[in-house]
Structure formats: structure tokens, C-alpha cells
């Protein structure tokens, strides 16, 4: 299973890389790096108590940047060592392909492929969604396209796939469920003014939860949305619509987002409700969350990153919340050697309260505080677009 997913990811990455020639004004840079961390973890792997942890995470990648193509192919392996042996040493893998391309003046495409496999749910990238205990392998893929029909009218479509596998699902009496989700979105957007764009769209989702009482379910529905440019650096987005499930139930989705992209500060605040599959639950999972995050350049060398949010989840189209939680994180980073090295002090707290017993989504309180040294050769750390 893991070999199959890794092979798929590599094949897709190769296809993107070889799809066309790299222009002369496009930079193509291989890079390599490592992150070394020493941290205190109050609840190792969400269930095994406190310990001091050493993490060493080598990474290799390839970055393409140009006027028509941006592509980042990245692989990391996290080696986690627990000083007091609260858990066996573990290997945690993360591979990704993120890119966008202007195929023509009217036609743009984008993709995001992410594979995460390991023993510590701490590195799962599921904002606003409860996390099961134990080891896992998750693959998430996105392929999108946008075509400008006229100067004001655009058509867009996207396909998404999520595949999640959990060790807890292999127990004789499983408390987590392996799952897949397929999702298709398509819509039309019309630019009413320089600031305002209105959009109408539809979505379809197919969920599979292996071993659950009802293994397959579909959901579909229409939606409306808008994008608004408050200033050259501040923008907003809103959308909402109903979802009708194949078992006759009704739920809804919606998102409200405001963001700012400045030279010294980038931040956003968003609230959303959505419907997901492949989360380990017995059914598709609805999620409601309010999230805020920001990156602030305090000086030329000193940067502060912050993220905080609260969420609640329920199963199926029910309005009863089964899990509630919160997450907060802050990173203070000092750039060295023209941003090829950083020293970071960080802290994160996660809390999760399961209102329903007998689930893999247990009650969790977890605090992590650590010091990290990050070094990358070949490109600047800021060019990678994430928090290493």
C-alpha cells in the first residue's frame, strides 16, 4: 500500500517535470537541507506521556521558478528519538509536489500532491479535523485548471483525492476506519468590477469507509461565492451551499476568509464548515473551524509565525458534535547566512475532547516546546514557501 502510493506520487511528479521545456528565464535549482530539533513533548504520539525528543529531518528537493511555471518537489524523512523510551524510535516520511503553470495566456493549471506516513499524528496536516491515535499513511492529491473564456468570465474545475490508512483500523475490533474520498468541483466566475467577482459552482464527493456499517456514500450540491479586493494587499472570499447525501440527509458547507499580503506582514482569518472523508471516522466527517494565522517580519533577520484555531467535528450529516478541539502555535525564527540557515524557538499546544466513547479520537492534551536549527543549501529557505 505504501509502496503503491509512493510510486504514484513519483510518477505524477515526473510527469509534471517532463511536461515541457524549462525556459531560459526560469530558474531550476536542486536543494538539500536538514532540521535538527531538541524539544519537550508533554504527550508523545498523543497517548504515551511526556519525554524529551530529538528530531533530525533531512530533506532533498527540486525548485523551479519562472514567469510561467512554479514547481517544488520535496521529500523529508523525520527521525524521532525519545530520550526516556516512552516510544520506540520512529521514521516519519513526508513527500510533496506543489506547482502551478500558465499553459497559455488564458489557461492555468495547478497541482498539490502530499504523502505523509509515520507513527506520530503530530505531523498530519489536517487543520480543524480530529486526529486518530497510532500510525498512519495519508495521500492527498489535487489537480485544478482555470480557463478564461472572456476578459471577465472564467471556468474552473478541480479533482481531489484523499486516501487514509490507520494502524488502528487493523485491530480485531477496529476503532478507526480506513477511507477514501473523491471530489470534483466545477464553476463559473464573472468579474463584475475591478474589485468584485461572483461565482456559481457545483461539487460532488464520493466517500468510502472500509469496514464501516455503510461503506459508500455520495454527496453533491450547488454553491455561490464571491471574491472581493479591499485594497491591493487585502482581499476576501465567501462561499456557501447545501450538500445532499445519497442516504437522504442534508448538510451544508461554507467559508469566509479575509487575508492580507504585505511586504512585512502576511495574515489571514477564516471560518469554515466542510465535509471530508478519509479521516478515520465511521462516516464522512463534517468540520466547523475558526482559524487565524500570520507571518510577521519584526526585523530583517527576525520573523514571527503564529497560528491558532478552534474546531468541532461530527459524523455524517448529524449536527451533534463528537469531537471539539483547539490548536495554537508560535515560531520565532532568526535568519542567518542570507536565509540559508535559521534558528527557531517554537511552541505548540493541541487539545481534543471526544464527546463519544469507543472511538480512536480520544481526549488529548499535548504541548510541544523546542529549539530547531534549519539549514538549506541551493535555495533560500523563504523560497520554499513553508515553515521547515
What is the chain's length?
388
Q: Tell me the HSE value of 124 on the side-chain side, using a 13 A CA sphere.
A: 30
pLDDT for 7 equals 42
pLDDT for 125 equals 55
DSSP structural state of residue 21: P
pLDDT for 367 equals 92
β-strands 51-65, 90-102 pairing: unpaired
Four-point Cα dihedral 269, 275, 281, 282, nearest 10: 160
pLDDT for 298 equals 95
Four-point Cα dihedral 254, 204, 158, 166, nearest 10: 90
Sequential pLDDT tens for the chain (388 residues)? 444 444 444 444 433 443 444 455 788 999 999 999 999 999 887 778 899 999 999 999 999 999 999 999 999 999 999 999 898 888 899 999 999 999 999 999 999 999 999 887 655 555 445 556 678 888 999 999 999 999 999 999 999 999 988 887 777 777 678 889 999 999 999 999 999 999 999 999 999 988 878 788 999 999 999 999 999 999 999 999 999 999 888 999 999 999 999 989 999 999 999 988 877 777 788 889 999 999 999 998 999 999 999 888 887 777 677 788 888 999 999 998 888 999 999 999 988 887 654 344 557 788 999 999 999 999 888 777 654 4
C-alpha cell at 229: 479586493
What CATH number corresponds to the domain at position 45?
2.40.160
Sole residue written with cell 474546531: 311
Give the whole-angstrom CA distance, residue 123 versus residue 356.
24
Give the whole-angstrom CA distance, residue 113 versus residue 71.
11
Neighbours of 333 (CB within 10 A): 23
Four-point Cα dihedral 278, 282, 285, 289, nearest 10: -100
Burial of 342 (0-12, 13-18, 19+ CB in 10 A): buried
In the chain, what is the straight-line distance between the N-terminal and C-terminal CA atoms, in Å? Answer: 27
298 — phi, psi (to 5°)? Answer: -75, -40
| Domain carrying residue 151 | 2-384
Sole residue written with cell 527540486: 62
pLDDT for 355 equals 64
Sole residue written with cell 479591499: 230
How many domains does the chain fold into?
1
What predicted TM-score, i.e. pTM, was given to this entire model?
A: 0.83
The answer to whether residues 238 and 223 touch, using CB atoms and an 8 Å cutoff, is no
Amino acid at each position: 500500500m505504501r509502496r503503491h502510493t509512493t510510486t504514484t506520487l513519483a510518477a505524477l511528479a515526473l510527469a509534471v517535470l517532463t511536461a515541457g521545456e524549462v525556459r531560459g528565464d526560469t530558474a531550476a535549482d536542486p536543494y538539500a537541507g536538514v532540521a535538527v530539533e531538541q524539544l519537550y513533548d508533554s504527550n508523545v504520539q498523543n497517548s504515551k506521556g511526556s519525554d524529551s525528543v530529538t528530531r533530525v529531518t533531512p530533506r532533498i528537493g527540486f525548485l523551479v521558478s519562472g514567469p510561467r511555471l512554479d514547481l517544488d518537489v520535496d521529500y523529508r524523512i523525520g527521525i524521532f528519538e525519545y530520550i526516556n523510551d516512552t516510544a520506540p524510535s520512529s521514521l516519519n516520511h513526508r513527500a510533496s509536489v506543489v506547482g502551478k503553470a500558465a499553459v497559455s495566456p488564458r489557461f492555468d493549471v495547478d497541482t498539490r500532491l502530499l504523502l505523509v506516513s509515520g507513527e506520530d499524528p503530530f505531523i498530519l496536516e489536517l487543520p480543524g479535523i480530529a486526529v486518530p491515535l497510532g500510525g498512519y499513511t495519508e495521500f492527498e492529491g489535487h489537480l485544478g485548471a482555470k480557463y478564461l473564456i472572456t476578459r471577465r468570465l472564467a471556468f474552473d474545475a478541480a479533482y481531489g483525492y484523499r486516501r487514509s490508512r490507520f494502524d488502528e483500523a487493523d485491530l480485531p475490533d477496529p476503532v478507526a476506519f480506513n477511507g477514501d474520498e473523491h471530489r470534483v468541483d466545477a464553476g463559473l466566475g464573472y468579474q463584475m468590477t475591478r474589485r468584485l467577482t461572483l461565482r456559481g459552482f457545483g461539487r460532488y464527493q464520493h466517500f468510502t469507509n472500509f469496514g464501516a456499517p455503510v461503506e459508500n456514500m455520495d454527496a453533491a450540491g450547488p454553491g455561490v461565492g464571491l471574491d472581493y479586493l479591499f485594497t491591493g494587499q487585502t482581499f476576501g472570499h465567501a462561499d456557501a451551499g447545501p450538500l445532499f447525501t445519497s442516504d437522504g440527509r442534508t448538510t451544508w458547507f461554507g467559508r469566509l476568509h479575509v487575508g492580507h499580503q504585505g511586504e512585512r506582514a502576511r495574515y489571514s482569518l477564516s471560518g469554515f464548515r466542510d465535509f471530508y472523508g478519509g479521516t478515520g471516522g465511521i462516516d464522512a466527517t463534517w468540520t466547523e473551524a475558526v482559524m487565524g494565522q500570520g507571518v510577521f517580519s519584526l526585523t530583517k533577520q527576525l520573523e514571527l509565525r503564529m497560528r491558532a484555531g478552534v474546531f468541532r467535528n461530527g459524523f455524517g450529516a448529524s449536527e451533534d458534535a463528537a469531537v471539539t478541539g483547539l490548536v495554537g502555535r508560535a515560531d520565532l525564527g532568526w535568519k542567518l547566512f542570507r536565509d540559508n540557515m535559521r534558528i527557531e524557538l517554537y511552541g505548540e499546544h493541541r487539545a481534543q475532547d471526544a464527546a463519544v466513547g469507543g472511538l480512536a479520537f480520544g481526549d488529548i492534551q499535548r504541548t510541544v516546546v523546542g529549539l530547531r536549527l534549519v539549514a538549506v543549501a541551493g535555495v533560500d529557505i523563504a523560497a520554499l514557501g513553508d515553515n521547515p
